[in-house]
Structure formats: C-alpha cells, structure tokens
Amino acid sequence: MTDDQALSGSPSDDPDVPPPPSPCTVRGLSPWLGALIGLFVAVAVWGAFVVWYPWIRLPDDLAGVNLYSPAKMIAARDEALDRLLRLNPIVSLAFWGVVLGACLGVGEAVARRSKRRLSAAAAACAVAGLAFGGLGGWLGRLLFVGYNPAGIDSELPKALGLQALMLGTMGGGIGLAFGTLRQNVRAAAVCTVGGLLAGSLGAVLYVFLAASLFPSVITQAVVPIGHGPRFMWLALGSVFLGLVIPALAGGSRPRRT
C-alpha cells in the first residue's frame, strides 16, 4: 500500500492483501438461539397435542361397537382403528416437522438479516419438515407393526430403533433444507448427517430417560403416551436439532449476504 492510499484509506490493489471486512457481513443462526427456538417449538407442539391429539379419532357411531355388535359394524370399526393407528403417527411427525422446520428457517433468515429470503427459507424448511416428518412417522409405524421381538429383553432395542428411525428421518430432512440455505453443497451434506444424528441422539435419550422417570410408560409406542413423556420426546428432539444443525452449518461464522 502506498502512502497516498494509507492517507486516503482506499483499499490496496495488491492481491496478497486481504480486503477489509464487508459492512454487509452477517451471522447465521447461532446454535444456542436454535436450541431456544427448538424449546419454543416443543412447548407449542406439545400444547397442540394436548388439545387435538389424537388427530384422527374413531367416529362416534363406531365407538360403542363390541363383540356382540353385527359383523358389519365390527369390520367397520376394525378398519377405522387400523386407519387411525396408521395415520396418527404420520400426522404427528409431519406437524412437528413443519413447525420446527419453519421456525428454524425463519430464525436463519432473520439472523442473516435477509428479508427477501424470509419466506423462501421458512417454506423450504417447513416443506422438508412436513415431508420427512411424515416419512418418519410412516416408517416408525411400519417398524412397530413389522418387528415383534419375543421376550422382554428385546423391548428396549425395538423402542430405540423405532424412535431413532423416526426422529433421525425428520432431522435429516430439516438439516438438508437448512444446509441448502447456505448455498453450499458441503453445508447441505453436513447438516443432513448432523440432523439425522441429532434426531437419533434425542430419541435415544428420550427412551432411557422416559424409562427411568416414568416407569409405567410404554416406550415402544410410536407416539409417546402421557403428557410428561410426550413433552420430553418433543423437547429432546427439538432442542437437539435446533442446537446441532445451526452449529454444523457454521452458524457462528460470518457470512456475506
């Protein structure tokens, strides 16, 4: 840099001299704010579960059907039960995923001070949460029905596999969408893997903590039974995903808009 450049404050043309920091440099969503968003989502989704779960219920005209009812009514009740047992996990995980994905997408856009990306970021993460959350619920139901180990010693592996499959699938999808917002292939790949692992870790912790704190809880249930276990399930999954995905995306490193 010449003396004239030093006095004037103009940037140097020397390629070996790094340019000064850009005033438009911003930070992405921080991991701790992501975890706070995850906790907020857990409370909101848990409240929705309290009010509306099960999302799909047995029709009133079939609720009183018993063994002495006409065969046609029993068949209709069994068909309705199969439908609600199949669809409720899908709706549960899809609803959780869309709310968590949308909130993390909004948090990322706001943290990067990008109003024009706000809708796109929220929509991308929400759609991913909806699709992969629903997929996770469907896979969890398949595993629940298709894998029936004999003996009490096999109950824990089934519960761990069931929850890890569901939350890992949802987390991987949200991580993929979140990483894509960085317009970086590496970030998308890392966030996908990180979301899968974070969701799985939250699921594993849920199974062990629920079994310890709520001895009567049925940990093999696709959607946890009871307000306490269900909130723990939502909180661990949401907080781990909100913490890990932004951390792996480099949320604390400066980014240019």
Closest CA to 178 of 96, 239, 103: 103
Asked if 211 and 229 touch (Cβ cutoff 8 Å), the reply is no
DSSP for 150-203 reads SSGGGHHHHHHHHHHHHHHHHHHHHHHHHHHTTT-HHHHHHHHHHHHHHHHHHH
Lowest mean pLDDT among 14-18, 79-83, 179-183: 14-18
Q: Report which residue type is found at 59.
A: P
* pLDDT beyond 50 at 47: yes
What's the average model confidence in pLDDT over 12-16? Answer: 52
* pLDDT beyond 90 at 226: yes
Question: Could you state, in order of their start, the residue ranges of all structural domains in the chain?
Answer: 27-250
Asked if 231 and 174 touch (Cβ cutoff 8 Å), the reply is no
Q: What is the pLDDT of residues 160-213, one digit of tens each?
A: 999 999 999 999 999 999 999 988 899 999 999 999 999 999 999 999 999 999
Burial category of 242 from C-beta neighbours within 10 Å (exposed 0-12, middle 13-18, buried 19 and up): buried
Alpha-carbon distances of 39 from 5, 84, 158, 238, rounded to whole Å: 51, 28, 27, 6
Q: What are phi and psi of 254, to 5 degrees?
A: -60, 145
Q: State the pLDDT confidence band at 150, using cuts at 50, 70 and 90.
A: low
Average pLDDT taken over every residue of the chain: 87
Tokens of 72: 């046609």
Please report the pLDDT score of residue 255 as a whole number: 45
Please report the pLDDT score of residue 82 as a whole number: 92
Q: What is the pLDDT of residues 52-78, one digit of tens each?
A: 999 999 988 888 888 888 888 989 899
